[in-house]
């Protein structure tokens, strides 16, 4: 049982006098699950350590980047060596091509790429590039998919399927939102309807090939192929947002797993080994529309940052060198965790639907299959919150929202599986008791 979060509480109160909600990103505030978030002091391997001396098994891995565990020694050394030569040059350096070469080795669809400092920047830039290249303004995204917080992507479905989007956040002008069509995921008819309603006007489709931001949702058979066919037919670009799935589901991300060749790909998280880094890339003919070669402007002070490049190179080199062992191991350990808890929930009479691809997964507290955001929303978020808090108290830190994916890294082994299943057995027994 975790020690009381006395120090974390004091740190939360201090943080709130500087940062809205005490956080630099909303999900960290634990509003979806309640209670105070522990304040982390350090992390190593599969574990986080908080200000009150508690140790937690980390099941969200900084939201994806830490696939090789925290403080992965080759990455730490690479960052330390790079830092000694200055944290930033603002000028070209060989490290950019070093990382780009490894990314392109993993993603054959990427013929040219550009580094940025976040997944948001990668997706925002890819959208602008698609609009500049096609000369079209409309964008298709899908309910439940998140592509960062650029205005054009903080949009939710309008009154009817395929009609104009409406702002998904305060501060997003209706004029901006109207050019984004938010459609249901796993529904090709909705995409056909959108192209029929806006002939010659849709620049691109951007999609999480495996959704992680509604919890994990798997593409239906033929869905991604259908998006590829429809974008080809209508002269629109297909952008696969692999910020979460890139290097996670396979070395070549979801496109490597499902055999889809997009026009553009966005990357983040793992590509920077945990440092601020994103990237977008694809067909050279499209990428060469970017300044200084072409008319689409895009820039960034810290783009290609030498420390992020060094951390990314250390991370990708390890994944490439150990590909044949890493991905089967991640799949096996994650299956043991995901399926083990699902079986315990079933024994406890608690309806849980488990969606998993490789080392990303979600336990939805619903008895319904989860194939899109609407079905994900049938989950009992109260039971999830109770489960989350019980697991945290037992030393297992799950992502603090029903609508987030959990991640396993190479530092998770049989000991971590046993520890987590033991904690889940107790947590679900209690969750069930309090429901009766």
Which positions are catalytic?
Answer: 146, 241, 269
Q: Tell me whether residue 245 or residue 354 sits nearer to ligand KE4 (CB atom).
A: 245
> Does 60 participate in binding ligand KE4 (rule CB under 6 A)?
no
String marking each residue 173-212 x if it binds ligand KE4 according to CB under 6 A: -----------------------------------x---x
Q: Which of 22, 38, 95, 119 binds ligand KE4 (CB under 6 A)?
A: 119
Give min distance, CB of 308 to ligand KE4, in A: 12
Instruction: Please give the span between the terminal C-alpha atoms of the chain, in angstroms, as a whole number.
Output: 24
Residue 255 in contact with ligand KE4, rule: CB under 6 A: no
Question: How far apart are CB 266 and ligand KE4 at their closest, in Å?
Answer: 7
Count of chain residues binding ligand KE4 (CB under 6 A):
19
Q: Which is nearer to ligand KE4, 52 or 208 (CB)?
A: 208
- For ligand KE4, the closer of residues 18 and 175 by Cβ is 18
Q: Are strands 138-142 and 112-116 parallel, antiparallel or unpaired?
A: unpaired
> Considering only residues 177, 243, 270, 319, which one is a binding residue for ligand KE4 as defined by CB under 6 A?
243
Shorter beta-carbon distance to ligand KE4: residue 279 or 338: 279
Residues from 361 through 390 that contact ligand KE4 (CB under 6 A) = none
146 binds ligand KE4 (CB under 6 A): yes
Q: Is the peptide bond before 292 cis (omega within 30 degrees of 0)?
A: yes
Shortest spacing between CB 274 and ligand KE4, in angstroms: 11
Q: Considering only 89-97, 145-153, 192-200, 411-419, which stretch makes contact with ligand KE4 by CB under 6 A?
A: 145-153
Binding residue for ligand KE4, selected from 147, 179, 228, 234, defined by CB under 6 A:
147
Cβ at position 12, least distance to ligand KE4 in Å: 17
Interface with ligand KE4, residue 118, by CB under 6 A: yes
**Interface positions with ligand KE4 (CB under 6 A):** 25, 27, 63, 118-120, 123, 146-148, 208, 212-213, 241, 243-244, 268, 278, 404
């Amino acid at each position: 049982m975790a020690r009381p979060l006395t120090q974390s509480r004091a740190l939360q109160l201090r943080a709130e006098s500087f940062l809205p909600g005490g956080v630099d990103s909303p999900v960290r505030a634990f509003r979806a699950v309640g209670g105070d978030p522990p304040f982390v002091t350090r992390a190593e391997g599969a574990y986080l350590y908080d200000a009150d001396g508690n140790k937690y098994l980390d099941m969200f891995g900084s939201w994806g980047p830490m696939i090789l565990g925290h403080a992965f020694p080759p990455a730490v050394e690479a960052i330390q060596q790079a830092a000694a030569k200055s944290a930033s040059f603002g000028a070209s350096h060989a490290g950019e091509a070093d990382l780009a070469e490894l990314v392109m080795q993993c993603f054959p669809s990427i013929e040219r790429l550009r580094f940025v400092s976040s997944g948001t920047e990668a997706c925002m830039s890819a959208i602008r590039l698609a609009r500049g290249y096609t000369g079209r303004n409309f964008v298709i995204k899908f309910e439940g998919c998140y592509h960062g917080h650029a205005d054009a992507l903080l949009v939710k479905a309008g009154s009817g399927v395929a009609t104009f989007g409406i702002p998904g956040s305060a501060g997003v002008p209706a004029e901006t939102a109207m050019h984004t069509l938010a459609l249901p995921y796993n529904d090709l008819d909705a995409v056909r309807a959108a192209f029929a309603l806006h002939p010659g006007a849709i620049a691109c489709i951007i999609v999480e090939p495996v959704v992680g931001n509604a919890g994990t949702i798997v593409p239906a058979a033929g869905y991604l192929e259908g998006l590829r066919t429809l974008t080809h037919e209508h002269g629109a670009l297909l952008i696969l947002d692999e910020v979460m799935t890139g290097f996670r589901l396979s070395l070549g991300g979801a496109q490597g797993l499902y055999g889809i060749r997009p026009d553009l790909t966005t990357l983040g998280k793992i590509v920077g080994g945990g440092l601020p880094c994103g990237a977008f890339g694809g067909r050279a003919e499209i990428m060469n529309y970017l300044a200084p070669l072409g008319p689409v402007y895009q820039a960034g002070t810290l783009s290609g940052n030498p420390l992020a490049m060094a951390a990314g190179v250390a991370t990708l080199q390890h994944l490439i060198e150990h590909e044949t062992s890493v991905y089967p191991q991640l799949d096996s350990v994650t299956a043991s965790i995901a399926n083990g808890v699902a079986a315990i929930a079933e024994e406890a009479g608690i309806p849980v639907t488990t969606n998993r691809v490789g080392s990303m997964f979600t336990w939805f507290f619903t008895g319904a299959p989860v194939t899109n955001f609407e079905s994900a929303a049938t989950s009992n978020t109260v039971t999830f919150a109770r489960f989350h808090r019980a697991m945290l108290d037992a030393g297992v830190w799950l992502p603090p929202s029903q609508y987030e994916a959990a991640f396993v890294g190479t530092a998770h082994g049989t000991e971590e599986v046993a520890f987590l299943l033991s904690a889940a057995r107790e947590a679900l027994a209690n969750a069930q008791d309090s429901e009766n």
